[in-house]
Structure 1
Amino acid sequence: MADITRDPSANPRTGAPGDTAEGQSVPGKPRESLIAHVELFFFAYRDFTGDPDAVLAQFGFGRAHHRVLHFVCRNPGLRVANLLEILKITKQSLARVLKQLIGDGFIVQRAGAEDRRERLLYPTAKGTRLADRLMALQVQRVEAALAAAGPEAEAATRQFLLAMISEEDRDQVRTLTRAAGRDDKSGGEDGT
């Protein structure tokens, strides 16, 4: 890994020594700790997605394909409209990814039973195998990280991640994760 050390009192945006984002030197104060957390998030995300990225590349897929495949596999019969809402992407972006996943035989699209205009998405056996392979890589990484972090880490991590989600989306995320067979056993109203 490249040496990216810098003067800890430097402004993270300008790099000027002794000049923080607020214009004053505050080494070791909470702002620097929060910036360190942001940086850790970048590195954690890089490694969390890195293992699946290597597998996805073998199929000519990217992270958008992974997200679509994940949510379709976890929620068979998912409406395209609901998938757009979950992923917060444009119809055009989803159409491109879906076309490839359907064309390559990872997902099938069916009309709704009551409303023929409704498009429902289902994984194929091939899609389920790929989703399971990708999930195994990420579950292994999360499991190892939780074990290394100690016995209290699971509840704290769940609470932290839920708090990172926009407040207006938290209920939808809670519902979605429970609907996929996962209970939020962390307790109270905000998952605390």
Structure 2
Amino acid sequence: MYELIELFFFAYRDFVGDADRLLEAYGFGRAHHRVLYFVSRRPGLTIAELLEILRITKQSLNRVLRELVDKNFVEIRAGALDRRRRQLYATPDGERLALRLAQVQTRRFASALEQLGDWGEESALAFLTAMIDPQKRAGDAVSRQEPPKRAGQAQ
């Protein structure tokens, strides 16, 4: 098991390292990436929902979110039905950055899965799902549908 643990650390280091280099140009870090990722993937996400997904404190989110808003990557809007509920949306700049980050990470996944052959993606999905605490899986449900294609997005 120690070999798997070690490989997981190294894989994670390289997986996030690809994005880290891109984020540096904006003065952003991994927390910014996580927020931008989920806001981009789930337009209209509320702050409360984002806190639940990331399992961080409101104080931790506020700093990161404020920077993303101030640099025009995320916008906060009053909810359509309940104006007290603040909903998050990626701006066009935020969508572009989220796409660039996803592209570098998608390339790494695609390369690794290609090396594993036909069973690779199914096994990887099963393994990563099994790594999530079973009581928390429902809240962490991953959308199995393709994200909507955006202007300039690779097919």
Is TM-score (shorter-chain normalized) higher than 0.5?
Answer: yes
Quick one: which amino acid aligns to residue 15 of structure 2? F
C-alpha separation between the residues in 1 aligned to 2:17 and 2:67?
Answer: 21
Tell me the residue number matched to 1:76: 43
1:152 is aligned, of 101, 116, 119, to: 119
Tell me the residue number matched to 2:129: 162
Quick one: which amino acid aligns to residue 171 of structure 1? A
SS of residue paired to 1:121: strand
Tell me the residue number matched to 1:99: 66
Tell me the residue number matched to 1:127: 94
Q: Which structure has the greater CA radius of gyration?
A: 1
The yes-or-no answer on 1:177 pairing with 2:131 is: no
Unaligned runs of 5+ in 2: 147-155
1:17-57 residue CA offsets vs partner (Å, 9 max, x unmatched): xxxxxxxxxxxxxxxxx110000000000000001100101
SS of residue paired to 2:72: coil
How high is the sequence identity, in percent, across the aligned residues?
53
C-alpha separation between the residues in 1 aligned to 2:63 and 2:139?
Answer: 25
How far off its partner does 1:114 sit?
A: 1.7
Q: Number of paired residues?
A: 147
2:25 is aligned, of 27, 35, 58, to: 58
2:104 is aligned, of 117, 126, 137, to: 137
1:129-173 residue CA offsets vs partner (Å, 9 max, x unmatched): 000000000000000000011211111110000000011111222
User: After TM superposition, where is structure 1 displaced by more than 3 Å over at least 4 residues in a row?
Assistant: none
C-alpha separation between the residues in 2 aligned to 1:101 and 1:177?
Answer: 24
Quick one: which amino acid aligns to residue 86 of structure 1? I
How far off its partner does 1:113 sit?
A: 1.5
How far off its partner does 1:177 sit?
A: 2.1
C-alpha separation between the residues in 2 aligned to 1:125 and 1:136?
Answer: 16
Quick one: which amino acid aligns to residue 140 of structure 1? R
More relative contact order in 1 or in 2 (CA 8 Å, sep 6+)? 2
Calculate the TM-score normalised by the size of structure 1: 0.74
Quick one: which amino acid aligns to residue 177 of structure 1? S
Tell me the residue number matched to 1:86: 53
Tell me the residue number matched to 1:114: 81
C-alpha separation between the residues in 2 aligned to 1:170 and 1:90?
Answer: 20
C-alpha separation between the residues in 1 aligned to 2:57 and 2:49?
Answer: 12
1:89-119 residue CA offsets vs partner (Å, 9 max, x unmatched): 0000000000000000000000112211101
